[in-house]
Every structure is written in C-alpha cells, then in structure tokens.
C-alpha cells in the first residue's frame, strides 16, 4: 500500500510562488495499475517526482507499507520505488553491455560495498528475464546498450526495473518516444510485471488508446490537483470521446 497524505509543492518564478501541486492525497493498493492523464502543466510529473524523491514535498507525508519515506532521498527510496523515464537513454548506460547494465540495476538499492558478480547463475537469470521480450536479446547479452534501438533499450529498462524488490513502479510517458509496435511491447510487458509481481504501477501517458486498453484506475489532473479518480468499474464505461472531452 502506497499512502500519500496532503503533499504539496510550490516553485518560485523570481519572487512569485507558483503552485505546482496543491495538497494531494492518494492511496494506491498492490496490483493497481493507475494511469494519470492531464494537460501539460497539470502536475503529473511533479507528482511522480515528489513520490520518487527527485524533489521533496513542502508539506505532507508519503508512506509505503507504513514506512514513512517522506524525508528519504531519491536513492534511498529505491528500496521501495522503481522508475522508468520517457527517454530510453535515461535508464541505461550506452557504453556498457546489456548484462553489465543489468548488474548495475541489481545493485540499485544495495550498499555499493556489496558485489554482485556476473556468474553463470546471474547470466542465466537475466537471460530468462530478457526472453520475456521476444526480441532475441537474451542471446546478445554482451552487446553494447548503445547499439540498440530506442524501443529495445526502453524494453530492457522496464525489465531492469524488476531486478530488485520494490512496491511501486513509476512510469513517466514511457512510450512517448517509441514507434507504435515498440509502445505496444512496453505496455504488454508492464501488464505482465503487474500480473507476476506483488507491486503497483503509476503511469503518466498522453495516449488515449493506452488509457482505454490498460490500467484498472484512471486519475485526471489539472492545475496541480486531482479532479477525477475512476475505479475499474467506471473505467470500463469510458469511451474515447469522453476522454477527449476531458480536455475541452
């Protein structure tokens, strides 16, 4: 259970305060796939950044399974939170091989004193996970990440996010830079992770088709606050035109 209590955030334009996030409360249960929609500047990315610890909230509290993480730095929250960014290059190291990138991902929430070697057991476990993608990359683990397409890198980034224990996966427009086929692969992979792991997912998207086809809860944001929060029953009744009219 992820619990957010009255978190808020403001920035300053010179001396003028700009409210990016009004006091916001939210509860996300295990196995929930929450999709966030909203116009540019509505507060979506600010909400994700505050949850991730990229920026700290001005007020409020964030808890994961009753663990208060409000004051934790971003890297300290990685024990509870994994994240996938919009840019496929953000989650991988271009000059390292696929297997080396996975080794770094496996160390995400551990002390840097800990050593995880690339032994046969580790390689076999990575090969099995990469095979989820159906791209044949499990047989190219020594290939440099920089030699892959954006879609391949983003798919591997999503798989790498599962390398350690976590409770919440944050995804900030993970398919925005991808072609339709690669985007569909990412969405199916995300659904598979939710089905196979005891986690929750919070994803920002501008793709209305994804809003209809994926997720079991929809949140709409505007002017730094949540204005709609629809459960799975309400979501099933939605039409494409209704979603489009939200932005009129």
Long-range contacts formed by 49-52: CB under 8 A, 24+ apart: 50/7, 50/9, 50/21, 51/2, 51/4, 51/81, 51/168, 51/170, 51/202, 52/77, 52/81, 52/83, 52/170
Note whether 199 and 166 are within 8 A (CB). yes
Quick one: residue 152, left, alpha or beta (phi over 0 = left, psi -120 to 50 = alpha)? alpha
**Residue 120, both tokens:** 């046969």
| pLDDT of 118 | 67
Give the residue among 201, 209, 119 at the shortest CA–CA distance from 161.
201
| pLDDT of 12 | 85
Pick among 2.30.40.10, 3.90.1150.10, 1.10.1660.10, 3.40.50.300: CATH of 2-92+153-245 = 3.40.50.300
**Residue 73, both tokens:** 């730095």
Provide the sign of the torsion angle of the four alpha carbons 144, 181, 232, 5, taken in this order: positive
Neighbouring residues of 238: CB distance < 8 A, sequence distance ≥ 6: 211, 212, 218, 230
| pLDDT of 248 | 74
| pLDDT of 134 | 86
Rounded (10°) angle between helices 98-106 and 120-130: 100
pLDDT by 10s per residue, the chain, length 248: 899 999 999 998 878 888 999 999 999 999 999 999 998 889 999 999 999 999 999 999 999 998 999 999 988 898 899 988 887 777 788 888 999 888 887 776 554 444 555 678 888 888 988 988 888 899 999 999 989 988 888 889 888 888 777 899 999 999 888 888 889 989 998 998 899 889 999 999 988 888 889 999 999 999 999 999 999 999 888 888 888 888 87
Give the residue among 64, 76, 82 at the shortest CA–CA distance from 28.
64
């Amino acid at each position: 259970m992820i619990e957010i209590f009255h978190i808020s955030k403001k920035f300053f334009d010179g001396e003028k305060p700009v409210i990016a996030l009004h006091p916001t409360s939210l509860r996300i249960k295990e196995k929930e796939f929450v999709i966030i929609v909203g116009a540019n500047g509505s507060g979506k990315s600010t909400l994700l950044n505050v949850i991730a610890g990229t920026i700290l909230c001005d007020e409020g509290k964030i808890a994961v399974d009753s663990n208060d993480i409000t004051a934790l730095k971003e890297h300290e929250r990685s024990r509870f939170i994994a994240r996938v960014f919009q840019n496929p290059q953000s989650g991988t190291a271009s000059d390292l091989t696929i297997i080396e990138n996975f080794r770094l991902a496996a160390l995400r929430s551990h002390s840097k004193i800990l050593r995880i070697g690339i032994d046969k057991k580790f390689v076999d476990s990575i090969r099995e996970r990469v095979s989820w993608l159906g791209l044949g990359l499990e047989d190219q683990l020594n290939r440099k990440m920089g030699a892959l397409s954006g879609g391949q890198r983003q798919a591997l980034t999503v798989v790498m996010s599962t390398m350690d224990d976590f409770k919440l996966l944050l995804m900030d427009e993970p398919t925005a830079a991808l072609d339709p086929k690669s985007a569909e692969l990412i969405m199916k992979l995300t659904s598979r992770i939710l089905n196979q792991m005891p986690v929750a997912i919070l994803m920002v998207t501008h793709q209305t088709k994804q809003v209809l086809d994926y997720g079991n809860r929809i949140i709409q944001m505007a002017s730094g606050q949540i204005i709609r929060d629809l459960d799975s029953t309400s979501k099933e009744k939605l039409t494409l035109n209704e979603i489009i009219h939200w932005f009129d």
